[in-house]
Every structure is written in C-alpha cells, then in structure tokens.
Amino acid sequence: MNISILTVGSRGDVQPFLALAVGLKDAGHSVNFAANPEFKDFIESRGIKFDLIRNNPMDILKDEYKDTPYKERRKIYYHFMTNWINDGIEAAKNSDLIIFTPVYHVGYHVAQKLEIPVVKCSYVPYTPTKEFPNPFLKSVPAFLNKTSYLVSQFFEWQIIKKNINKLRKELLDLKPIPFYGLLHKQHKEKMPVIYGYSESVIPRPKDWPGWIYVTGYWFLKDLESYSPAKELEDFINNGSQPLFFDIGSLGQYSEQIISKILSVLLKTEYRIVANPGGADISKLNKPGKIFFVDGSVPHAYILPKVRAVISHGGPGTVAAVLRAGKPLTVVPTYGDHKFWGNRVHAIGAGTLPLFTANLTDEQILKRVNELMTNNTLRENAEKLGEKIRNENGVEKAVEVIENLMRGKG
C-alpha cells in the first residue's frame, strides 16, 4: 500500500506522525512524508521518502508579521493554504491512502480532489463528547462540554469558510462546504479519525462513534540511542538530579515569562537543565547551577535523567514526560496547553498548572517545591509511565489503518 502523510508546523506537529510513518514502513508499506523543508533530514534519516510542503504556519508568529494588519495576515494565510494544497496534491497523487493532521487541515480537500481514501490523525481530541470540553477553550461548565465543540467549530468555520470554499472552487473545482462546517461534514461521512494518545491519560469517551480510534502514543524509538555532549553529561552526573525546564519551540514568544520563572528557580536549591526555545536568556546563565540545551536534545535521553519537569504543555512534550514517569507542571502558553495541564493534574501526575496572568514569585516557588518533593506525585507519575511504556500505540495505529483499508474498520 502506498501511503502519504501530510503535515506542517513545528517539530511537535511532525515527530509523532514520523513515528507512525516508520511503523507503517516496518509493516511493509511504501510511505512518503510531506512536511516543511526544515524537517527533510529528520524524515529522510528514518528511511522515509520526503516531499516538500512550503510555508510553515508558525511563520505567521514571526516578528516580521507582528504589526501586519489582520486583513493582510488573512491574505498571507490564504497564500500558505494555496501552496499547501498544490504541494499536497503533488506529494499524494499516486497514493492508496492519505493521512493528514489537524494543522494541515486542507488534507481533506486534497484527498477529495484526488479521490483517494483519507484518515485524519491527531494527538489532541477534537471529536465532540459530553465527557470533557473542547481542549482549546479556557473554561466550560460540564453540562456544556459537547456544546463547546459544536459552537467553537461552527464559529471557526465561519472565519475560514470564504477562503476554503474559494480554494475549492477556483483551485480544486470542488463543490463548496455547507454553512454548518467541515468537521460536521466529515463526521456525517464517518471519516476515520485516529488519536495518538493513551487511554490512561484520556479514556475513550463512551459517546464516540465506532470510526473514532484511540491507539496510545506514537514515539520514535531511535531517539533513545542519542549521544550527548560531554558537558551536558557531566552536568547531569555531577550533582543532585536536576529539574528540566522545557518551553518547546515557543520561547521567542514568551521571553518575559521564561525569564521570570527561571530567575525564581535560580534562587532555589534545585539544579536546572533548561531548553528556552529560542528565548534570549543568556543573562541568567549560572555555571554549575543551570545548563542550557536546545530542541536537538531528545526527550528520550534527557527525561529519564531528571527529577521533574516544567513545560509549556504542548501535547508531544506532555506525552514524553508522562512516558518517562516524571511529575509535571505545565505553564500554558496558548491553545490546548491548559487542557493538558489540567488533565495531568486530574490524573495525579503533576501539580496544578502555573498560569502566567499575574504570576508571582510565591506561586512559582510553591509549584516547584511541590513538584520536586511530593512523593505521591512521583509515585503516580512512575506508575503511569510504566503503563504508557507497555502500550504499543504505533503498532495499534498501523493495525487500525490496515483494517480500514481492508474494509474491516
């Protein structure tokens, strides 16, 4: 079977799906992976064919667009979507199956144009349910959980409807999507959705239909063989077990918060390994007390060696921390980060999130001391980590995909 996986975005939007690609390849399928150019070597080093998709959506957040008016940003994004569709068609034109991700939301239209079966894969739940609210909303009463998805998705559709339908008509020669929205249409068509997270973290809701699957997390196994720089290894081994502070790839957009938190952490007794995610915090350097790393140091190496983690709460980072069995404090940056922070706390594997609005030194100290010294959190995290490590999320997802293509889904 020839399978195309289409995505754009940050490393967190690529890595889980690359793990899935490797699993499909190992099962005997031909896989090509289309993504932004910065991931070419990352993908090809796993023996997976790379195809180019231009324009990373993260580029909209760059300083050069900071003062761009909203209407101009919409034009830029329209240009991005045009390139995504054209590049996706080129990458997937000879496929038996297209797999696309939420960030590459135009994948559905590409598949429809090519008349190729399609599966959506995600690491964040977005299918409406009564059991928990839309992960991207800040606060919702429990009785409005399902409504939160329906209303949010409806209004999101109204924002992009004009541009999507223009692309469908002028670029793809397809009929417009009705006013009620794309996700409603996909649900009506029973389009398969596979979620790559653990049911130990979010149990599968009882009100989800049978074409929605939860398989367990998708991890790249080869990252476990990483060889660190001697300086990093020496820092870890020469002193107490450090705290890992990891803001992912969002540091350049959160420098003030990162500086504030690290300034407080440096006053504690704890040693720190920090990935500031591009933030300029060189003035906070204290040799022997803090060691800076970047995103090239894999979680599979660093997490087993630390005592606990403070993170922005991106789903890929949360997955890696939980798999390693480490207690976690989330500092929500945007989007679904608060959802994951609250979820980790609810299952007893971390503290309450550390919200950035009106953040005080006292709040930071309280969270970090609980994180580093609470034995119940540590035991819960270790038990959960063992469960997750015993799951075979990639293998289960491959089995689901193969059954769907055989008509057994």
Q: Which fold has domain 2-217+391-405?
A: Rossmann fold (3.40.50)
Residues 17-52: tens digit of each pLDDT: 999 999 999 999 999 999 999 999 999 999 999 999
Query: Residue 407: its pLDDT value, please?
Result: 84
φ/ψ of 54, rounded to 5, equals -75, 155
- pLDDT tens digits, 343-370: 999 999 999 999 988 889 999 999 999 9
What is the mean predicted confidence (pLDDT) over 56-66?
Answer: 78
Give the residues across from 98 on adjacent strands. Answer: 4, 118
Q: What is the mean pLDDT of residues 287-298?
A: 89
**Average model confidence (pLDDT) across the chain:** 93
How high is the pLDDT of residue 278? 67
CATH topology of domain 223-389: Rossmann fold (3.40.50)
Q: Determine the pLDDT at residue 164.
A: 97
User: What is the pTM (predicted TM-score) of this model?
Assistant: 0.93
The pLDDT tens digits of the residues spanning 254-291 come to 778 888 899 999 999 999 999 887 667 777 788 889 99
Taking residues 58-81, report their average pLDDT. 84
Residue among 245, 279, 291 nearest 265 (CA): 245
pLDDT band at 222 (very low <50, low <70, confident <90, very high): confident
pLDDT at 12: 85
Domain map (residue ranges) of the chain: 2-217+391-405, 223-389
CA–CA–CA angle 137, 250, 333 (5° rounding): 30
What burial class does residue 191 get, using C-beta atoms within 10 Å of its C-beta: 0-12 exposed, 13-18 middle, 19+ buried? middle
Beta strands in 230-286 (DSSP E): 243-246, 272-275
Pair 10, 108: CB distance under 8 Å: no
Residue 321 has pLDDT above 70, yes or no: yes
pLDDT of 205 above 90: yes
pLDDT at 408: 63
Q: Report pLDDT digits (tens) over 184-201.
A: 899 999 999 999 999 999
Of 400, 46, 23, 50, the closest CA to residue 218 belongs to 23
Q: What is the band of 223 on the pLDDT scale with cuts at 50, 70, 90?
A: confident
pLDDT attached to residue 409: 58
Would you place residue 139 in the very low, low, confident or very high pLDDT band (cuts 50, 70, 90)? confident
The model's pLDDT over 245-256, given as tens digits with 9 standing for 90+, comes to: 998 665 555 778
State whether the Cα torsion 356-357-362-363 is positive or negative.
negative
Tell me if 2-217+391-405 shares its fold with 223-389.
yes
**pLDDT at 62 (0 to 100):** 72
